[in-house]
Structure 1
């Protein structure tokens, strides 16, 4: 565009110049070889311009003829390069689609047109083709060759990491992930693998250093790095609360300052303050956290915050906490438990029934069974609430990547992703589908559970079934009569039910399962778990 504009300006200047000379007539006299020549001035100017144009054209022709071999060579080289990149692109697409034959053919064609030293993607296509064809040794050698090139070092480490996981060599996989994390802390796969290992070993200082390195590498991830640091500080405080109370208290307070919405940080900081007798300061932290997100751990720490309180004092603290953010399920349950401990069964029943009407869950029915047993002793009603607890939706728990736990952890035991636990109701319907169709995922989850310090519990459901079984056994022992001689009993008419409660008891007994209750926890065979864990990862 600039060149066209330049030519336009030159033509305009020449036109204006010739027009100016035409308005001013004159002659140009020249003497050459004793002869005198006289020409008009405008004719002399036109001849001069034409001479310059002829010289430029001649120079262009001579230059083009002189450079023609180089031009032809460059043309054929560009054509060859284009064919090579076209073959490389087709090969990568074929490798991604799983077509090993086409990928191998395109790799050879690309290697014939391009140099592998100048184009590292040829090596990548060769490695992917080897993986598709099942040549794992060649694929590993190809990834090791990629490590030698600084431009493809991270790519080679990534491939070796996945191959080591596929082969079950977890130590080698962690080594490759650590090397990649040193070169590029912003890589999610590398930092997650290293972070999961550091947290499993309890190396919180190393995990904090890794988070700081990621913060420097990711200029736009300051908020994420702040939350990750808060999670690690909370975990370190929870680990050191009994051995190094002062350091744990400082870590918990800093974590609560960095992430006020992190429930474990607030609870840990408040409990550390309660231990030192700073009840008011700890209560303020829990009250602020409760206003943001009502959580049962906050309620438990707040109600039991002051040592030596009576049941009535704890009930009073529960009333105050619930008043800060009313009409919540967790608040009603906390108040109901405090009222049950204080012997105020009417208040406890009102709050539990409020929860059952709005959001029924296991813990509500279990608590209602305890209230019924303590207040009326009606075993029929107790069994009724217990049976409803078994069928009720589960209570929210800490969940990360499909893994549910009663205890919070800074990293996911499945993927090693930091700060991934969320407080929500687990989805039970997805578990059988995953176990039936993805055995490699099941093996990975089992191995992560074995390595993780987080312990998976489902105590609410097991306690409900155990309690129901205990009541059935006790009733069976009291209802079995002494042995009598066999004799034919006269036919009798069925007795009428005196009260509606007795009728409900018999109907409920008819629906209860007969015989011993078997818990659905068969366990996991250790050898089978390890065998499945070796095949738990795939590159594609």
Structure 2
């Protein structure tokens, strides 16, 4: 529409100019050397316009001759790039859809048309992986390391492949280099910490998490929770190696970072008691118990007592029950102390209370033991053992990643290698 308007405007101007010249007749005389040319003004105007047009056409033709090949080349290159990007997009869509054939063809087309490895190597590696060509995928990913634009992605893929192959040394190398490339990226810091922890390098893993926290890759709470897990293992390692002061320092740091973490509290309390600091051990367990009762804390409550006399332990566990009467583990702990003191009635009463709060196989078996110790092996004992067989299983530590159960807590799951993934079911309190 706009072009048509401009066209009619031009026609109107020409017509107006022609009318204006027609209303003002005259002649134009040109003398040059010995020649004289005379013509009407209208003819002169037409000749001038024709001359201007010829000059413009000559200029356009010259530009076409001079720039034509380059223009054609640029147009051809633009067409190739457009086709290359189209193939690249189709390839990633096919890869997301799981179509290995189209992904492979598109990757090859994109490689041919674009000839820019930074854009096509990742797709080529993915296509090779989808075809089951692990060697080809690794070759493409290694080629990605030579380009700053693709090195980080290549490092991540190679690290994951090394972990799948069980090559921890290679995975560590890629994670460390990735962290150097992008200190503020989250995955290199997390991956490095998990790899170091999986190899038992607790100090190195803790350093990686501290660096991630400092650069704000991980928030303070998340980093503290993860670091506490590593410090517990560091404390265990120091204690086993005959370094009690280092063990105490690491355990205290873990507890300060995460007081609700049961392994940190129980370990710190036992180390305090072993160093003769029974009052400090008790204060640690009291703080952790109020945050969340747990059978490991109940066991440590008795083990860290300065007086191991059975009657003294009964009194000590009465204080634990008084803090949280609705915690079944406190009643079980008191019952165990009463069994050692041969206070069968006390033991039975608290086991029955624990059964009401959180029935489990262990509670029914201990009730059977008390019944047998007090009154001999009778039908009541067998009835309790039968109930134990159908009672809910005792809670255990469980890995949230693979579901494997564990008798004790560890920072790294033995089954799947996940770090800080072993948790305990929430305690039942009333």
TM (normalized to structure 2)? 0.75
The residue aligned with 1:475 is none
Alignment partner, residue 392 of structure 2: 393
**1:484-518 superposed Cα distances (whole Å, 9 cap, x missing partner):** xxxxxxxxxxxxxxxxxxxxxxxxxxxxxxxxxxx
In 2 relative to 1, CA 238–302 (structure 1 residues): closer, same or farther, beyond 3 Å?
Answer: same
Confirm whether residue 229 of structure 1 aligns to residue 227 of structure 2: yes
Conservation of the 8 A alpha-carbon contact between 2:145 and 2:151: yes
Give distance in 2, aligned partners of 1:173 and 1:226.
25
Superposed displacement of residue 341, structure 1: 1.9
**Aligned position for 2:411:** 410
Asked if the contact 2:186–2:217 (Cα under 8 Å) also holds between the matched residues in 1, the reply is no
Which residue does the alignment assign to 1:140?
138
Residues 87 and 106, structure 2, Cα contact 8 Å, conserved in 1: yes
After TM superposition, list the pairs within 5 Å mapping 1:94-493 onto structure 2. 94-117=94-117, 120-167=118-165, 169=167, 171-184=169-182, 194-242=192-240, 243-400=242-399, 401=401, 402-424=403-425
Between the aligned partners of 1:84 and 1:279, the Cα distance in structure 2 is 73
Shift of the 322–183 alpha-carbon distance from structure 1 to 2, 3 Å rule, reads farther
CA distance in structure 2 between the aligned counterparts of 1:389 and 1:309, rounded to whole angstroms? 30
Task: Figure out how many residues of one structure are paired with residues of the other and give that number.
Answer: 362
The CA deviation string for residues 426-471 of structure 1, in whole angstroms up to 9 with x for no partner, is: xxxxxxxxxxxxxxxxxxxxxxxxxxxxxxxxxxxxxxxxxxxxxx
- The alignment partner of 2:397 has SS state of strand
Aligned-partner Cα distance in 1 for 2:302–2:184: 42
Given that residues 333 and 351 in structure 1 are in contact (C-alpha distance below 8 angstroms), is that contact kept between their aligned partners in structure 2?
yes
Instruction: Render the CA deviation track for 1:240-296: whole Å, top value 9, x for unaligned.
Output: 225111111122112211111111111122122212222222111111110001011
For 2:24, the equivalent position in structure 1 comes to none
Query: Contact 1:230–1:259 at 8 Å: present in 2 too?
Result: yes
Q: 1:241 is paired with a residue of what secondary structure?
A: helix
- Contact 1:399–1:421 (Cα < 8 Å) also in 2: yes
CA 370–238 in structure 1, closer or farther in 2 if over 3 Å, else same: same
What are the ranges of 5 or more consecutive residues in structure 2 without an aligned counterpart? 1-55
In 2, the alpha carbon distance for the partners of 1:272 and 1:418 equals 24
Q: Which secondary structure does the structure 2 equivalent of 1:128 belong to?
A: helix
SS in 2 for 1:248: helix
Q: CA deviation at 1:423?
A: 0.7
Determine the structure 2 residue equivalent to 1:472: none
Deviations 1:329-376 (A, max 9, x none): 212222222222222222222222233234221111121121111111
8 Å Cα contact 2:186/2:218 also seen in 1: no
State the structure with bigger RCO (CA 8 A, min sep 6), 1 or 2.
1
* In structure 2, distance between residues paired with 1:271 and 1:158: 41
* Cα separation, 1, equivalents of 2:321 and 2:92: 60
Deviates more, 1:189-198 or 1:368-377: 189-198
State how far apart, in whole Å, the 1-side matches of 2:334 and 2:246 are: 33
In the alignment, the residues of structure 2 paired with residue 349 and residue 112 of structure 1 have an alpha-carbon distance, to the nearest angstrom, of 81
What is the Cα-based RMSD across aligned positions, in Å? Answer: 3.1
Shift of 1:385: 2.4
Match of 1:505 in 2: none
C-alpha displacement at 1:201, in angstroms?
A: 4.4
Question: Could you state the TM-score of these two structures normalised by the residue count of structure 1?
Answer: 0.60
Structure 1 residue 164: deviation in Å?
Answer: 3.8
Does the 8 A contact of 1:195 with 1:417 survive in 2? Answer: no
Equivalent-residue separation in structure 1 for 2:81 and 2:198 (angstroms): 50
Matched residue, 2:46:
none
* 8 A contact 2:193–2:206 mirrored in 1: no
Pairwise CA distance, 1:165: 4.7
Contact 1:195 1:416 in 2 (8 A): no
Task: Please report how far the alpha carbon of residue 199 of structure 1 lies from its aligned counterpart in structure 2 after TM superposition.
Answer: 3.5
SS of aligned partner of 1:419: coil
- Do the aligned partners of 1:193 and 1:416 also contact (CA within 8 Å) in 2? no
Alpha-carbon distance, 1:89 to partner: 1.5
d(CA) in 2 for partners of 1:386 and 1:191?
A: 51
Equivalent position of 1:432 in the other structure: none
In 2, the alpha carbon distance for the partners of 1:128 and 1:142 equals: 9
**Aligned position for 2:45:** none
Q: SS of the counterpart of 2:326?
A: coil
Instruction: State the alpha-carbon separation in 2 of the partners of residues 167 and 233 from structure 1.
Output: 28
